[in-house]
């Protein structure tokens, strides 16, 4: 999914603001009604209110957040998904309040003897649990309202009123007077939100700001500080900025803040039962999973894994404490917990992740160190009283650290430079990579340079999910139902639920066959949990589990096929599937009451050990895009295909240095073909504007969303001058300064475009009102365009995948769909052009839609110089 067309999406902030407006109005009505009648909402009224809050404030605003991320809106994407989690959590609380009937049969908490904070359950402490979540969101809402002031001056009033509303909603749980203040503030949200929605709606319709409020910020974000040259992001060693989606780091850090804050309240005894708290943390962890997902779409393995790992950590611990405080009715919990060892896997992975971040800024390393402290505090072998105190302290420290990193990451994302200090790198990426190469050469006794990475982005999460599930599945005895019950979330959540997420993101970028193993293993761990840990709860006896015996045999057969698949991958994956085969044999023996428990424990431990190495190797190899930690070669290799420059007969691949090659590609384009061509940035797919049907083929070839427009390419500005478009002096001068080169200008689309030679394809390129124009600084492309006329072009890669920087990449990925590829070797750049919106240039406004090979600062410098030059 390429990024330039993001500017053409409708304004998702309209949807997000209206979701907040309706949700706030609903809560205000309930608050005023309670104050007037002195009758608090209960029963079905609370249930219906909760459903409305989830559907409107939650799901509707979630859609606005998704669209904002796709529109490269850092603040909007972060704020709308964060507030979506808030309204969903608050709505779930209302549903629990309405549907809850006291658990009268539970009179004594199972954990009384070891956890003094958990006395008997009589009423469910919904208010205390809700306060913990509301207070956490107060801090987040304040940060979002402050940051929004750097973007416009409507959002600060909406988010600021929302911040104060949360304060008085929390107080209103215990004092009726606060609800009046809260209701008044909610009316402010309604008024400001309606105005903001109207302003953005008119802006989307008219393509200009009709109502004031969004054109200017309350203050310039650059006033918060000067760019920090010591930060890792300014040194230039990190991967170039990805502008396909907004940065999800602030969202992931917000979720860490809220989850840690709620757990701190719980550990220090404010909440006696982790019921509503589990709901709030779960919704928040799902939001963090969205941060992991958008990191994956940005090809960022580090944050994909980090936010996935953290989301998994919060989910597992929240539901363990839910089971502990709601369902278990025994005084022997302490003894059962000591035998659980899954928490050690979290600690090992957290340490590995901390080591993998030493080439990043100090703030990021410190954040990872705090997470290591969190994982230490939840080790089950620590006595419960000390464990909860340690966990509470660790959560408090982690909350403070996450608050600061949230603020820093959000401001720095909005400014697109380091304004809030994050510290220098502990070591450079080059030194870290060199150290890993030396380590590999020492262990393998080889001086060969490492090959390109064979690991994929989701692989680290795949190994983490299976490793945690396997280590948590180890049971020292088969006669401890409490340990089995506590183990349910430790196996089911990572082994099944999270592995389904891994399977989904593997499919996202076309690795359809790669999703088979995680999907099958998700089914295995689900079945394991069902029989081994929940069997006594579901009244499944060893005499009635014949169906599980058949299922185990089926799993054995399926895993044999998975072993065959893994032989074409690497040694680590093969041994993983091999050990899983023995684990399934143990499961089969359990169903027939003949399980050798020591064998099962040994196999699960070996399986977890393989997963630890697999996770570490996959993470390192993907971060540096080299096989620095060996995963082992495939046991069998596919038969070699034709050489990279020899493809299907239907796709010709001439050399760009030969005139005959250029003519052959031009001939294909002239008869309606689609070809891969070099440009001054990365390789592109091209179709002649004389053939609209060829442009439509590009969408099919790339699997490109139809709503994303395609730009045109011309050879020089004289072609534009010849058709006399009504451009202003400033626009002409700007184009003369950036063309030819790696800049693409979005201008108003009018009849002049038909005179340029785009006539037949007028409705197939650009949007209804605008068109993006490229004038490449590349001899081959210019000559080709002179021969064919204007070309419709877009990047030569399957939609959502990385750009093609060599003709081999185009051939290997798309040749079976193309008519030709003009081979020109390595591309001049590794990223596409910088896209500039010139629609409002006459108003003195120029916006960077996507920063590519030409720095945004350079483009803006050219614009400011021309704008201030007298005529």
pLDDT digits (tens, 9 = 90+) for 299-346: 888 999 999 999 999 999 999 999 988 888 556 788 888 889 999 999
Helix (H) or strand (E) holding 836: strand 834-837
Q: Tell me the C-alpha distance between 609 and 739, whole Å.
A: 56
Contact 323, 590 (CB under 8 A): no
Residue 868's contacts (CB-CB under 8 Å, 6 or more residues apart) are none
For 748, list phi and psi in degrees, rounded to 5.
Answer: -70, 140
Q: Which residues of the chain have pLDDT under 70?
A: 1-10, 101-127, 207-208, 215, 221-244, 329-331, 444-455, 508-513, 541-546, 637-649, 871
Q: Using H for helix, E for strand and C for coil, what is the string for 396-437?
A: HHHHHHHHHHHHHHHHHHHHCCCCCCCCEECCCHHHHHHHHH
Q: Tell me the C-alpha distance between 62 and 511, whole Å.
A: 27
CB contact burial 660-670 (16+ within 10 A = b; e otherwise): ebbebbbebbe
Closest among 196, 311, 302 to 251, alpha carbons compared = 311
Contact 345, 474 (CB under 8 A): no
Structural tokens at position 343: 């928490």
Please give the model's pTM, rounded to 2 decimal places: 0.76
Residues 184-242 pLDDT 10s = 999 999 999 999 999 888 877 776 677 877 767 777 765 666 555 444 443 333 334 44
For 823, list phi and psi in degrees, rounded to 5.
Answer: -85, 120
Helix (H) or strand (E) holding 184: helix 177-206
Give the model's pLDDT for residue 509. Answer: 55
CATH of domain 659-867: 3.90.870.10
Q: How far apart are the first and last CA of the chain?
A: 41
Based on C-alpha coordinates, what's the Rg of the chain? 29
CA distances from 52 to 179, 277, 537 (A): 20, 21, 34
Give the model's pLDDT for residue 583. Answer: 95
Counting every residue, how long is the chain?
871
Contact 852, 243 (CB under 8 A): yes
Per-domain residue ranges for the chain?
1-101+152-216, 500-624, 659-867
Give the model's pLDDT for residue 122. Answer: 40
Structural tokens at position 345: 């896997």
Structural tokens at position 359: 């080439």
- Look at strands 791-795 and 711-713 and give their pairing: antiparallel
Q: What angle do CA 314, 316, 318 make, to 5 degrees?
A: 65
Residue 138's contacts (CB-CB under 8 Å, 6 or more residues apart) are 163, 166, 167, 170
CA distances from 677 to 560, 650, 776, 797, 811 (A): 44, 16, 12, 12, 11
Give the model's pLDDT for residue 233. Answer: 44
Instruction: Tell me if residue 377 falls in helix, strand or coil.
Output: helix
Contact 386, 826 (CB under 8 A): no
């Amino acid at each position: 999914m390429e990024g330039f067309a993001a500017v053409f999406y409708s304004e998702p902030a309209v949807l997000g603001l209206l979701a907040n407006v309706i949700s706030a109005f609903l809560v205000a009505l309930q608050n005023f009604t309670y104050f007037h009648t002195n009758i608090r909402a209960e029963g079905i009224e609370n249930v219906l209110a909760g459903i409305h809050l989830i559907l409107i404030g939650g799901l509707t605003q979630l859609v606005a957040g998704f669209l904002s991320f796709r529109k490269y809106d850092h603040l909007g994407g972060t704020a709308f998904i964060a507030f979506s989690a808030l309204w969903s959590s608050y709505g779930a609380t209302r549903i629990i309040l309405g549907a809850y009937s006291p658990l009268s049969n539970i009179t004594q908490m199972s954990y009384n003897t070891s956890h003094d904070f958990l006395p008997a359950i009589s009423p469910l402490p919904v208010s205390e649990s809700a306060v913990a979540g509301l207070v956490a969101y107060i801090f987040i809402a304040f940060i979002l309202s402050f940051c929004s002031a750097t973007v416009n001056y409507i959002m600060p009033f909406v988010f600021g009123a929302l911040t104060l509303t949360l304060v008085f909603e929390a107080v209103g749980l215990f004092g009726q007077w606060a609800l009046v203040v809260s209701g008044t503030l909610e009316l402010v949200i309604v008024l400001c939100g309606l105005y903001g929605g109207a302003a953005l709606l008119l802006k989307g319709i008219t393509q200009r700001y009709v109502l004031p409020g969004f054109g200017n910020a309350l203050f310039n974000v650059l006033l918060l500080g000067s760019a920090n040259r010591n930060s890792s992001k300014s040194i230039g060693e990190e991967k170039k900025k990805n502008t396909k989606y907004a940065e999800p780091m602030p969202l992931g850090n917000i979720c860490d803040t809220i989850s840690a804050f709620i757990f701190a309240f719980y550990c220090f005894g404010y909440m006696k039962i982790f019921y509503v708290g589990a709901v709030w943390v779960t919704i928040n962890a799902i939001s963090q999973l969205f941060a992991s997902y958008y990191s994956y779409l940005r090809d960022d393995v580090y944050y994909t894994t980090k936010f996935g790992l953290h989301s998994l950590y919060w989910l597992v611990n929240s539901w363990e404490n839910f089971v502990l405080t709601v369902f278990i009715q025994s005084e022997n919990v302490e003894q059962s917990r000591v035998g659980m060892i899954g928490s050690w896997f979290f600690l090992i992975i957290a340490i590995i992740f901390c080591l993998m971040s030493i080439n990043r800024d100090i703030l990021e390393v410190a954040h990872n160190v705090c997470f290591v402290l969190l994982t230490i505090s939840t080790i089950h072998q620590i006595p419960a009283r000390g464990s909860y105190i340690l966990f509470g302290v660790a959560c408090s420290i982690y909350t403070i650290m996450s608050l600061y990193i949230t603020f820093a990451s959000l401001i720095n994302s909005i400014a697109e430079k380091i304004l809030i200090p994050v510290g220098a790198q502990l070591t450079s990426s080059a030194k870290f990579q060199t150290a890993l190469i030396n380590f590999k050469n020492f262990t393998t006794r080889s001086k060969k340079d490492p090959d390109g990475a064979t690991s994929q982005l989701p692989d680290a999460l795949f190994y983490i999910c299976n490793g945690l599930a396997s280590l948590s599945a180890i049971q020292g005895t088969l006669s401890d139902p409490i340990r089995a019950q506590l183990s349910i979330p430790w196996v089911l959540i990572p082994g099944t639920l999270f592995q389904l997420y891994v399977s989904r993101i593997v499919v996202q970028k076309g690795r359809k066959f790669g999703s088979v193993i995680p999907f099958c293993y998700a089914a295995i761990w689900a079945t394991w949990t069902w029989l081994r840990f929940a069997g006594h709860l579901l009244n499944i006896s060893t005499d009635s589990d014949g169906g599980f015996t058949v299922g185990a045999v089926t799993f054995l057969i399926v895993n044999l096929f998975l072993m065959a698949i893994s032989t074409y991958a690497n040694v680590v994956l093969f041994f993983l599937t091999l050990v899983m085969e023995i684990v399934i044999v143990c499961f089969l023996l359990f169903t027939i009451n003949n399980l050798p428990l020591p064998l099962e424990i040994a196999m699960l431990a070996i399986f977890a050990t393989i997963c630890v190495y697999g996770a570490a190797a996959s993470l390192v190899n993907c971060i540096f895009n080299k096989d620095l930690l060996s995963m082992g070669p495939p046991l069998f290799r596919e038969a070699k295909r034709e050489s990279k420059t020899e493809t299907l007969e239907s796709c010709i691949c001439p050399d760009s240095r030969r005139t005959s090659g250029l003519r052959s590609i031009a001939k294909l384009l002239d008869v309606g073909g689609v070809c891969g061509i070099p440009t001054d940035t990365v390789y592109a797919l091209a179709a002649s504007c004389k053939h609209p049907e060829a442009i439509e083929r590009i969408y099919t070839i790339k699997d490109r969303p139809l709503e994303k427009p395609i730009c045109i390419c011309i050879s020089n500005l004289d072609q534009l001058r010849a058709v006399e478009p009504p451009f202003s002096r400033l626009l002409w001068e700007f184009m003369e300064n950036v063309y030819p080169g790696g800049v693409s200008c979005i201008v108003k689309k009018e009849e002049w475009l038909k005179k340029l030679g785009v006539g037949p394809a007028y409705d197939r390129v650009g949007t209804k009102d605008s068109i993006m124009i490229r004038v490449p600084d590349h001899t081959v492309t210019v000559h080709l365009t002179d021969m064919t006329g204007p070309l419709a072009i877009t990047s030569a890669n399957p939609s959502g995948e990385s750009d093609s920087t060599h003709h081999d990449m185009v051939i290997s990925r798309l040749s079976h769909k193309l008519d030709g590829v003009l081979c020109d070797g390595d591309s001049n750049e590794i990223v596409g052009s910088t896209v500039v919106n010139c629609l409002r240039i006459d108003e003195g406004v120029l916006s960077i839609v996507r920063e590519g090979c030409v720095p945004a600062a350079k483009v803006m410098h050219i614009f400011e110089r021309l704008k201030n030059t007298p005529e």
